[in-house]
Structure 1
Amino acid sequence: MTADANLLTGFRLRNAEQHLGAYGIHVHREGHEPVEHRFRADDRVNVYSGSKTFTAVAVGIAQGEALLGLDDAVAGFFDGVPTAAGNGSITVRDLLQMSSGNPFNWFEPASESPTDIVARWLATEPVRMPGERFEYSNASTYLLGRIIHAVSGQDLREFLIPRLFDPLRIATPQWFRCPLGFPEAARGLHLTTGELARLGRLLLQRGEWEGTALVPAGYVDAMHTDVVDTSHTGDEPEATAGYGYQVWNSTVDGAWRIDGKYGQFSVVLPEQRAVVTITAHNERVPFDLLRAVWDEVLPRL
């Protein structure tokens, strides 16, 4: 067995012993060929909240094209929609950091979802000041996707196809849509492990892909350094290390990640110049997949 193949031996054993539910793991290291192991067929799967990071990247691209600013008021993108007074000072940055103070989070199942999510959010009075407290919210990300449509005339998926998906060779991605026909933005994007890994690699490279800057480097830097406190969210260390622009900081120094339900992860490791990406279905403790990476993969990078 080659040294590269040995990279994943410990993770494969941990996955089997602890029933971690991994579908696949992909390791990118600068200067090396990628290493991947499959536990099942390499099908596209729902990356759930991993979709949020693609939406955040769209915001960075739009900022780079001078279509919006992070301190722009959210309500200003939706003229004519009735807006509760307290929503007037909420900014794009507040949505990125999930600290708007608006309690409508859009966690309802599809059968109970409001038809117009933007209208419901704008009509809901905030319960605290913008920036005061992190509260996880699908609605925040959905609004970001609708802002992309407002400033570009293209829905989120259409906006990203020439700017991100095509350069990363992610062909015709499926993205679930809301009742009004817009991509859900916060969830519902379907990708293979390797396709998700390409976004992780792009972030490691500060927005550059094969010699072309797809996302402004300064924005990528801010994604994981302009963070809000999440220490109040519980006892899980991987959920309390801080939240940036639709990405989570991790317990390993310098590490940050794309993070989706049931164990969809792409972990950016700047110190190791590496990215570790996992797709999985772990309904018990998906963060055990990250701990398996810290213990079994990180020391071998």
Structure 2
Amino acid sequence: MANETKRLVRAKAPECVGISSEAFIKMLRHMEEKEMQYHSIMIVRHGKVAAECYREPFSKDIPHIMYSVSKTVTATALGFAIQEGYVMLDTRFIDVFPEYSPKKKDERLEKLKIRHLLTMTSGKQPSYLLNKTDKDWLRHLVGAKWIFDPGEKFEYVNENIYALCAVLQRVTGVTVTDFLDERLFKPLGIDKPFWETDHGGVESGGWGIFLKTEDLAKIMLCYLNEGKWKNKQIIPKKWAKDAVLNQVQQSGEPIRKEGYGYCIWIKNENEYCADGIYGQIGSVIKDKDTVVAINSCAPDGSAYWEALEILKAEGFVKEDPHANASPQFKEFVRNRPIDIIPVSKRRSPLEDLITGRTIRFRKDPLLNSIGSPMSVLSTAAVYMTKYRAGNITNVRFDFSDDKLMFSWQEGNEVNTIACGLDGKYILTPIVLALTPYTAAAAAFWLDNYTLEVWIRPVESLTRRILRFSFQGKNVVMTPSGEPTISIMLSSIAGYVRSMFEQKQLKELAGLALKKLETVIEPLHYGKFID
């Protein structure tokens, strides 16, 4: 558990710092009514936590995958590196990586600078479906097609920010995580985070960092205060100010208006945010001295932005330093579990027959061919890892009075977790795709021959549901997820269609995604081997 001295100060009640308890409750209710699966949310005002909510099993002590919020952290590292003279915005990419200069001169590549990578104006467009098991991720960017000259237009590309991490590691001689540890993480009281890397140890940059909700709030609070933390300059002041200006406009000096800064999205002259897919967002409302941080699994984030409008319209009230949070408010924010686990007293007579035995499942060749073998992790998490998780097999059940010990293998990794049989999750640390997770798990019998296991890797997005049907020596495993695969794929549908210019190809891409929904979670067949 994190040292309490590292935490932000908590206000006794939201009203102590001028936030309405009723408005916060209304925000949560709105997101729930819109069926937005928010995992945690925190409002910070005047440097104090006004209100927060963690939906069990999510908690303030467990990090969460941040996806493109990682870009903001990478850009912050670049700000330090520029201040310390390691690199400049106008440094050319090929001056750092001359080995990527082609034999035949490429005038566009000659023009490609650090600022172009940072502001998403590289002019490159790699495929969204690049295979992260490949060894050379820089080649994904350098070898991608040019769609315009560097600096000409904006095109959001993950690999641009990965390339920044590669540049930073080359010029500083250390990983970006290590580089930031003394400069950002320790000063802000952030535990050194896990960050996914390529095969050579370079952080993925555009995705892959795991931070607590409070960590995200701290970083954005630092930007709100022009790089200062507790009156000490942490992020270089010029960088912190420039990062929240629109750096992609075609003429004139950068200003605070809708657009893209240094891996920060500018909403208007008063608001900006770090924004990751599925609802990982750190919002700043500058004139209210307020930061809102949220982690979610929300393919459509509109409910959050609507909730933020509730805060702006109704949430700021007169400060009352003597206010106390009501018991009703405390109970409301405490009792918001993300999952309602069925409570069943049913125990199957099969338990004695299957306890301690091993079930081997056949690999699904189609899933492996498309890079999405069945895993306890979500399809999105599996596809973006360099060491693919997946191909669940060697499953074992060990029943006791109050819990099930569930073991399985994915690749070379074997995990054993405790599953509550009383309608409650039990937490167990696991490792999948060389990434540490905390598995919240429960299990229950649907009938004497059908067992359902729920596993939620808390640092990730979705709940994996594995239904096992026992038929003599044979076992059928039916996988599914919550949110469903169709909901998860809907978030990338627009991007995939945008990869094609012709209307017919766009339509085919949409149909391909629909087809993918039907094949991504097939039945898996296995049998007892002992």
State TM-score, norm by structure 1.
0.88
- Report what 1:236 is aligned to: none
Structure 2: tracts of 5 or more residues without a match: 1-12, 251-256, 317-530
Amino acid at match of 1:249: I
- Show CA shifts across 1:25-69 (max 9, x none): 111111644421222321211110111100000001111111111
Deviates more, 1:133-142 or 1:74-83: 74-83
The code of the aligned residue for 2:309 comes to W
- Output one character per residue of 1:166-196: Cα deviation in whole Å (capped at 9) or x when no partner: 1111113111111222111110111111111
Alpha-carbon distance between aligned partners in 2 of 1:187 and 1:37, rounded to the nearest angstrom: 25
2:43/2:291 contact within 8 Å kept: yes
Residue of structure 2 equivalent to 1:47: 66
Q: Structure 1 residues 102 and 125 mapped into 2: Cα distance closer, same or farther (>3 Å)?
A: same
Q: What corresponds to 2:199 in structure 1?
A: 179
Q: Greater shift after overlay, 289-298 or 137-146?
A: 289-298
Q: How far apart are residue 213 of structure 1 and its match? A: 1.6
Instruction: Name the CA distance, whole Å, in 2 between partners of 1:189 and 1:161.
Output: 13
Structure 1 CA distance for aligned equivalents of residues 242 and 135 of structure 2 = 33
Aligned residue number for residue 23 of structure 1:
39
Distance 1:96 1:248, change over 3 A: same
Q: Any idea what SS the aligned residue of 1:224 has? A: coil
Query: Using the alignment, how far apart are the partners of 1:82 and 1:119 within structure 2?
Result: 11
SS in 2 for 1:80: helix
Match of 2:116 in 1: 94
Aligned match of 1:79: 98
SS in 1 for 2:99: coil
Q: Does 1:14 align with 2:30?
A: yes
Aligned counterparts of 1:52 and 1:299: Cα–Cα separation in 2: 32
Aligned to 2:152: 132
- Structure 1, unmatched stretches of 5+, are 231-239
| TM-score normalised per structure 2 | 0.52
The structure that is strand-richer by fraction is: 2
SS of 2:210's partner is strand
Of 235, 247, 252, 2:264 maps to 247
State which structure, 1 or 2, has the greater radius of gyration over its C-alpha atoms: 2
RMSD: 2.2
Deviations 1:93-138 (A, max 9, x none): 1111101101226652534xx3212234234452311111111111
Contact in 2 for aligned 1:174/1:190 (Cα 8 Å): yes
CA distance in structure 1 between the partners assigned to 2:38 and 2:191 by the alignment: 24
Residues 1:273 and 2:289 are matched in the alignment: yes
Look up the match of 2:307.
Answer: 292
Aligned length: 288
Partner residue, 1:208: 228
SS in 2 for 1:95: helix
SS at match of 2:304: helix
1:53-98 deviation digits (Å, cap 9, x = unpaired):
0000000111111111111111111122334612111111111110
Give the counterpart of 1:159 among 155, 179, 186: 179
Matched residue of 1:8: which SS? Answer: helix
Deviations 1:170-228 (A, max 9, x none): 11311111122211111011111111111111110111112322221111111121432
SS of aligned partner of 1:149: helix
Once residues 51 and 221 of structure 2 are traced to their aligned partners in structure 1, the CA distance between those partners, rounded to angstroms, is: 13
Higher relative contact order (CA 8 A, sep 6+): 1
